[in-house]
Amino acid sequence: MAAGDDSKDPSMEDDQASSPGPSFYRNGLFIFFHNVRNALKADEMGKEISSIAVPAALALAADPLASLVDTALVGHLDAEDPRRDSVALPGDMQKRPFLPSASSALVVGVVLGILQALLLGFAATPFLRLMGVKPTSPMMAPARQYLSLRSIGAPAILFSLAMQGVFRGFKDTKTPLYATLAGDAVNIILDPILIFVARWGVAGAAIAHVISQYVIAAILLWRLVQEVQVIPPHIRDLKFSRFLTCGSLLLARVVAVTFCVTMAAYLSASRGPIPMAAFQVCLQIWLSTSLLADGLAVAGQAILAGSFATGDHQMVVDAASRVLQLSVILGLGLSTFIGIGMRFGSAVFTKDKHVQKLIQTVLPFVAATQPINSLAFVFDGINFGASDYVYSAYSMVVVAVLCVVSLIILSYTHGFIGIWIALTIYISLRMFAGIWRMGAARGPWKFLLDMKKSS
């Protein structure tokens, strides 16, 4: 463009119009509105997010949806009766890089899976009593049988989760999707056969689920060994210390999340079989639909991890903005879908009129919290992509403590509805923890202050 030429490049005008002005960089919350009109645009960023998020969302939602099938069928029983740190390897092994972090994750996954299987298998009764199922309850025997049998699948589940993490590090979310769909297809096919034809009842549902998990693990392992060298040349090539440091923080976070949900289940079960059944159906729907947002979280995590590693802060802002905006749109869509669908579809999960009525009373909470759920899940992915594990762990522990206090108080004062009010508080606190970290420009988001100064 010649000097003195007053003409402007249209593309530059568009970029300037979509970028926030100097007064807009007051805090990190500008990310929510950055290029907001491009939220649904099928540009390069949109295509990359969709290529990662869609397969990841389908894979993440597939297993809970298969559990919904279990819930629906069992509910009718009464009626029917990133970076590759490669190590040089000899020969053909050089074609497949060795990833110390991946192999470490697989080993830890198998060990934890075995320990979980032993714990649930031998301590099923105490665990169920902790959740509020009384020894004299008619639910105890089938619940103990179901939990004991499903515990056999724990090693396969954790092993699969570790392998899925490796594939996501490659930005490959299609392989986990195909494996999960194949496994869940096996589950859905075997469910009616084992539950009704073989007349194994809840045991049949548990066995179908276990078989499906080992199918998923086998497919993932078969594909993984074609891409990388899984077995280390030597035990010293594993990086357990680094893996366990981050893993311990994530484990603390998972324990905090699990404890909140388990506490809610315990309080529901303590109120009797009808509240417990209604809670289980609502929880499965709540989590199944919310996990769709986890696909966006995976996409955000993958893109942000690479952008932070290269110091491309503009890409960090662009990617974080887009996935957060999409999460709000997704959440609103899920709220509409659940609000309409479950108003007429609760009979799919149970024929008990009392359970259906109780489901309808908490349906507003399940539907209305979907945008909050979506943001909370996506912020998890953003924080992981920024390697902000310490904050993620500690903030979740604080949220869990507040959630437990809310559950105890509100379940006592408001009964079953109080439990869902407390869960609404819990997921809202998770969302605000992410908003505060980014909005205050703390931790890995300090670079936002530099963007403010430079603007």
Question: Does the pLDDT value for residue 60 go beyond 90?
Answer: no
In terms of average pLDDT, the best of 58-67, 114-123, 412-421 is 412-421
pLDDT at 138: 81
Question: Does the pLDDT value for residue 85 go beyond 70?
Answer: no
Report the alpha-carbon distance of residue 218 to residue 13 in Å, rounded: 53
CA 76 remoteness from chain centre: 28
In terms of average pLDDT, the best of 72-81, 91-100, 405-414 is 405-414
pLDDT at 172: 87
Q: Which of the residue ranges 93-97, 163-167, 359-363 would you say has the lowest mean pLDDT? A: 93-97
pLDDT at 26: 54
Q: 288: closest CA among 68, 50, 46, 36?
A: 68
Answer yes or no: are the C-beta atoms of 82 and 305 closer than 8 Å.
Answer: yes
pLDDT at 72: 52
pLDDT at 15: 42
pLDDT at 16: 41
Structure confidence at residue 291 as a pLDDT band (50, 70, 90):
confident
Those residues with Cβ within 8 angstroms of residue 184's Cβ, 6 or more apart along the chain or in another chain: 62, 63, 65, 66, 212, 216
Q: 216: closest CA among 171, 168, 172, 177?
A: 177
Structure confidence at residue 139 as a pLDDT band (50, 70, 90):
confident
Report the alpha-carbon distance of residue 455 to residue 403 in Å, rounded: 40
Higher pLDDT, 303 or 88: 303
Q: How far is CA 138 from CA 130, 144, 175, 352, 355, in A?
A: 16, 11, 42, 16, 17
pLDDT at 100: 78
Higher pLDDT, 414 or 128: 414
Structure confidence at residue 253 as a pLDDT band (50, 70, 90):
confident
Question: Does the pLDDT value for residue 87 go beyond 60?
Answer: no
Structure tokens at 249: 């923080």
- 262-269: average pLDDT: 90
Question: Does the pLDDT value for residue 146 go beyond 60?
Answer: yes
- 345-366: average pLDDT: 81
**pTM of the shown model:** 0.72
- 301-322: average pLDDT: 90
pLDDT at 427: 94
pLDDT at 95: 65
Question: Does the pLDDT value for residue 71 go beyond 70?
Answer: no
Answer yes or no: are the C-beta atoms of 159 and 106 closer than 8 Å.
Answer: yes
Structure confidence at residue 421 as a pLDDT band (50, 70, 90):
very high
Question: In terms of DSSP H, where are the helices of 75-173?
Answer: 77-80, 100-122, 124-130, 140-150, 154-169
Q: 408: closest CA among 200, 250, 241, 264?
A: 264
Q: Which of the residue ranges 46-50, 183-187, 243-247, 254-258 would you say has the lowest mean pLDDT? A: 243-247
Those residues with Cβ within 8 angstroms of residue 226's Cβ, 6 or more apart along the chain or in another chain: 96
Those residues with Cβ within 8 angstroms of residue 228's Cβ, 6 or more apart along the chain or in another chain: 84, 96, 97, 98, 99, 102, 166
* Digit-coded pLDDT (tens) for 172-218: 889 998 999 999 899 999 999 998 899 898 899 999 999 999 999 99
pLDDT at 423: 95
Report the alpha-carbon distance of residue 298 to residue 53 in Å, rounded: 6
CA 386 remoteness from chain centre: 17
For tokens 């988001």, name the residue: 445
Report the alpha-carbon distance of residue 80 to residue 72 in Å, rounded: 12
* Digit-coded pLDDT (tens) for 442-452: 889 988 887 65
Q: In the chain, what percentage of residues exceed pLDDT 70?
A: 81
pLDDT at 67: 55
| Chain mean pLDDT for the chain | 81
Structure confidence at residue 369 as a pLDDT band (50, 70, 90):
very high
Answer yes or no: are the C-beta atoms of 313 and 66 closer than 8 Å.
Answer: no
Answer yes or no: are the C-beta atoms of 168 and 302 closer than 8 Å.
Answer: yes
Question: Does the pLDDT value for residue 24 go beyond 50?
Answer: no
CA 429 remoteness from chain centre: 17
Report the alpha-carbon distance of residue 321 to residue 328 in Å, rounded: 11
Please, what is the angle between helix 447-454 and helix 313-345, to 10°? 120
